[in-house]
Amino acid sequence: MKPLVLLSTDQALLGQLQNAFARSAPQLRVVLANDPAAVDAQIAACWFPPAGSLSALPNLKLIHSVAAGIDHLANDPSQPALPVCRVVDPAHRQGMAEYVRWAVIHFHRDFDRALAQQQQHVWRRHHQRPATEYQIGVMGLGSLGGAISAELAEAGYAVRGWARSARQLQGVRTFAGPCEFNEFLQGLDLLINLLPLTAATRGILCQDTFQALAPGAGVINCGRGQHLQVDDLISAVNSGRLRGAVLDVFDKEPLPLDSRLWSTPGIIVTPHMASCASHDCIAQQVAENARRLACAEPLLNRVDPALGY
């Protein structure tokens, strides 16, 4: 059997994935890039593959992201034009919903202000706004965004949703396409980004977007780091146009130590922890696609290059 190679700049993850494949897909021979057998690999399972690592594999037939997204593959500009698949974990939705609920409450119930006041030894209560008066907008209404929008609406929030194409969701006022984007944004108290990364959505969290929100709005980014124009966000937070942001994804990960996002008051940085596929789920889905590739069967969760997901 041809080996499968694991490629990542995250050395700890490589060890964790090796253990997961040994548990959940022992039929596969799994190697690292420095193994001489890696040259024979037909599948590369990747998370931020090192630059030049993919082009160094002459027998490669499939590039497999170990996450739901594929933008991290751009870490290796030598990526050849091969089929790309991603991992879709049914439990991913639950983890993302938990993270978003926490971030929503952080702003809605003024925990951000209470934490800032604690640093100054200030005792002050803020007006408790009913959920029905708190306007939340969710960008991206796929399997994650759609479920989270519906859950927030069920919790009583005034929820709007925006996506590339028209959707219908119970309790959610939906908008679609570029022509309805500004109407969607107007007066939102909180903007949540769960969009996939495409040419059309890159940099969408920018000054123009922030200006359309209600004064003092919050932003939650669980989409992709490349959705955010960092300088625009920092400027909006420092000026008071935005009250703050919760960020879980970044253009470069780990977030560089000199990034101003670490130290800008009002901005919370979390280490891409909102939700991710379990290591065993990754191993099982990659193994299934390895079997399908060997049998010339259709691959699971193959990415459409035109859409980017």
Q: Which of 299, 298, 282, 271 is nearest to 90 (CA)?
A: 282
Distance, CA of 226 to CA of 156 (rounded, Å)? 31
φ and ψ at residue 231, rounded to 5 degrees: -60, -40
Contact 82, 43 (CB under 8 A): no
Q: Please classify residue 114 by burial: count the beta carbons closer than 10 Å to its beta carbon, then call 0-12 exposed, 13-18 middle and 19+ buried.
A: middle
H helices then E strands: how many in the chain? 8, 12
Catalytic positions: 224, 272
CA distance 268 to 133: 24
Backbone phi and psi for residue 97, each to the nearest 5 degrees, phi listed first: -60, -40
* Residue whose pair of structure tokens reads 């927030």 in the numeric block: 152
DSSP tag of 228: B
